[in-house]
Amino acid sequence: MSDAPSALRAIRLRCEHLNPTLGLNSARPRFTWSLGGQALGQSACRLLIGEDRDAVASGRADLWDSGRREMSGLGASYDGPPLPSDRHLWWSVQLWDEAGRPAPIPDPAELFTGLFAEDWQAEWIARPFVPAAGRPVPQDDAYDNRFQARPVDYLRRELHLPNAPVRATAYTTALGLYEFYVNGTRIGSDVLAPGWTDYHTRAEYQVHDVTGHLRAGGNALGAILGEGWYSGRVGHNQRRAGNHYGGRPAFLCQIHLHYADGTRQVLRSDDGWTCARGPILYSDFLAGEAFDARKEMSGWSAPGYDDADWQPVETGDPEPRAPELNAARAQPIREVERLGARELGPCGSERIYDLGQNIAGYCELKITAEPGTRIRLRHAERLTEDGALYTENLRYAVSEDVYIARGGGEEVYTPRFTFHGFQYVGLTVESGALLAEPALTGIALQTDMPRTGEIDTGNALLNKLLSNIFWSQRDNFIAVPTDCPQRDERYGWTADAQVFWRTAGFNMETTAFATKYLEDLIDGQSPEGAFPDVAPTKPLNPYRLTPQPGAPGWGDGPIIIAWHDYLRTGRTDLLHRAWEPFVAWMDYIEAANPDGVRLNRVNNNYGDWLNVGPRSDPALVASAYWVHIADLMGKIAGVLGRDRTRWHLLAARLRASFRGAFADSEGRLSGDTQTAYLLALDFGLLEDRSPAVARLGQLLEEAGWHLQTGFLGVRHVCPVVADELSERRAVDLLLKESFPSWGFSIRHGATTTWERWDGWTPERGFQSASMNSFNHYSFGSVGEWIWSRLAGIDWDEAAPGFASIRMRPIFDERIGHLAARYDAPSGRIESAWQIDGATGRWTVSIPPGATAAITLPRTATDPTLAGAPLQSAPLGPGAHVIEFGYKADQD
């Protein structure tokens, strides 16, 4: 063992998949890290946790020091004394490399332990439904609106502190949406907090360090409270458009103060708070927001404000019960990008602006106007042929924001508690007058997951497809993985998520998001064991007493998502958490289908949703997925050390039933569609694959090598075609521009992936306005194949977490060059290749502790590594350059 410093580095420190970690839901949190630097790997680690950041950085921990532990794994569960609640901690990890040399201790990561259930003293507070004098008479005032949306509530409380605290931590949440203020300053950069959960079951709270915001003497706390998912409009059921969880939003706040003399104090939401209406006349996801700047209340959240006309709040638990309070499991929603709007010109009385990108978010409006000038902003994804906003596909979503100017100089406005899906904006001055040219800036939102991967290629269409996939993910990963951000829906559909999850993890760090979403799915599981179609479940069918049970491919989503998360990270916490719910789902299916064909309890059996061309047999699709999840249950059982016998026997029985029910003597499958053969081949359902492979090739040939798949089939197209038919044909499909294809939508202006292949065509124009989103990530599931095969960065099921990397790139002169970098859980992986006529070069970089199994395509001839013939042995950590001859495939 050497005391010389190591070149190994611990990077991307995470506790419970987050940094910073703002509250714990486990007494044994999991600490993880990745590896960087120039070393072969890790041989030992030492976890350090303490209250002093500098001390932890120097290797001194006053709360826990695990001591050196011999291990190569990139994570460990806490096994020290129970962590106390309401603590602000720092942690880090010291590593030793393969030669026993110590690595530098990285900058510590922040950790707030949060509150335990028994720590909560705060009361839920809300603006009364009606004033104490009785129900007011409806009248034509500023707060009346055709949506019957509630005005946004303003809450405040003044207090006196004997001294400035040396530490103050605020724990805040809402049933609805909120912003929190201390002494006139907004706390945090979150938007749409606390996100969306099944509020009848649980609510997630946020943690804020407010030490520097409180002072000796007079202080004021404030909150702005909107309806959001709780009581506002969400979903497409216009018979029950809102009030899915309750009739009014509520706020909860608890602040723990620590003073220099060791004393402590707890401030909380209670009946001492007051409330009022303010300038936000209403704010709703589907209706939009109306803001009257003339009603602004300057200093309302600062000490000394005159609130004599404010009402007392009401306190009490919401019906049907107070939710369980959990620390937020995923990153917050934030504003992540700003895009300047270009004015296209007038269309009638409306001025049309183009952001150049379809986003989920809202606009910042800058104006100088006469007092009382009323401006309306309308939002749309597309324009009609005459240049007007196309809004029919929004259905009942109004997607309009209204601003009424106060006058007296430049004014800047952004909505608070709504968002829209749009690329184009229409601005109308409905009354009054502008005194200067307006300026619009689009602001994109997303759950702020760190970006993990980027690819750049020599093919403009492929680059645009990658951008469209990324933006559709960004626009729809807002609290839950939604189907679309624009119309009256915005549900967390499970099939959409599961087909895309592998792609999603290459773009962003998804494990924290998956942890939260899996909790939503378990909360939505029925007493009979049925996982739901969407999660959170309530708005989908608000008249059911229990959640709407999931369809094949939809209800199966939780198992697939959790398995993919395990393969990406190597971490088993989601599998452990969900094992019993998974078994309950499998029991639910099996009890109703004793003959092994999935015909019963298929609920809303969507089949291969939104395919073009022949319709796949939904029973075949359902049964294929049943085999697939039975296989996965066997694998999960093995990972968790459980008996796999039941699942192996079930999978074997289901395969036999599948072949008996859906394959004829010549190997032709029921329905005879592309998706039927793609699923059968990719899920390994057939004894003799050759007839299915041949028939798939014939179907593609008959379709002119165009796609005819829907949501469930599309993920399998390029992988199966590349492995079974031709790698070049798979690239053909990827780069095709005629209808239907990914390139077709790009050629017609798409900046995100469409919900339908035929969302717009020259012959028919727009598809049915009843269901036609232009921002929907499901068809972007091809992204996983671009990463795993074109870039050649793929996980290895035998060594998950990218400890072993499968590198099987496809080289193609039509792409020319490709450069990819992916921040895997094991560390950064890089793959870059270029074709120059008859020669090529491929450079790969492997992180410490990992290996890569290399398989070159047949287009690469005579490969050499460092001037010598390339061997079949895995490549180790570091950079490697492989040179080869190149000969394009001709099939």
Handedness of CA 591, 595, 600, 602 (dihedral sign): positive
Do β-strands 21-22 and 109-112 pair in parallel, antiparallel, or remain unpaired? Answer: parallel
Helix pair 573-592, 557-569: axis angle to 10 deg:
150
- Tell me which residue of 553, 657, 536 sits closest to 595, measured CA to CA: 657
Report residue 818 as tokens.
């490709």
Rounded Cα gap, residues 805 and 834, in angstroms: 21
Residue in the block written with tokens 């004098």 = 133
Burial of 821 (0-12, 13-18, 19+ CB in 10 A): middle
HSE-CB of 364 using CA atoms within 13 angstroms: 14
Greatest distance between any 2 Cα atoms in the chain: 90
Output phi, psi for 157, to 5 deg: -155, 130
Element containing residue 473 per DSSP (H, E)? helix 460-476
Report residue 265 as tokens.
């104090």
Rounded Cα gap, residues 780 and 472, in angstroms: 8
**Is the bond leading into 527 cis (omega within 30 degrees of zero)?**
no
Rounded Cα gap, residues 890 and 592, in angstroms: 50
Report residue 814 as tokens.
């039509």
Contact by Cβ (8 Å): 8, 35 = yes
712 secondary structure, DSSP code:
H
Do β-strands 177-182 and 185-187 pair in parallel, antiparallel, or remain unpaired? Answer: antiparallel
Rounded Cα gap, residues 7 and 38, in angstroms: 5
Give CA angle at 798 (796, 802), nearest 5°.
40
Rounded Cα gap, residues 574 and 577, in angstroms: 5
Rounded Cα gap, residues 513 and 501, in angstroms: 11
227 is known as an active-site residue: no
Report residue 131 as tokens.
């004033």
HSE-CB of 347 using CA atoms within 13 angstroms: 17
Contact by Cβ (8 Å): 469, 746 = no
Element containing residue 462 per DSSP (H, E)? helix 460-476
319 is known as an active-site residue: no
Ordered alpha helix ranges (H), 557-644: 557-569, 573-592, 618-639
Contact by Cβ (8 Å): 745, 762 = no
Handedness of CA 864, 865, 871, 873 (dihedral sign): negative
Rounded Cα gap, residues 864 and 842, in angstroms: 10
Report residue 316 as tokens.
């009490």
Rounded Cα gap, residues 769 and 772, in angstroms: 6
Residues 6+ apart with CB under 8 A from 221: 156, 157, 158, 159, 180, 181, 182, 253, 255, 267, 301
Give CA angle at 147 (143, 149), nearest 5°.
55
Dihedral angle computed from the Cα positions of residues 605, 606, 608 and 610, in that order, rounded to the nearest 10 degrees: 170
| Of 381, 489, 509, 784, catalytic | 489
Bridge partners of residue 84, in order along the sequence: none
Rounded Cα gap, residues 527 and 846, in angstroms: 47
Strand runs labelled E in 432-476: 439-447, 453-457
Residue in the block written with tokens 């606009």 = 363
Output phi, psi for 75, to 5 deg: 170, 160
Query: What residues are annotated to the active site?
Result: 489, 755
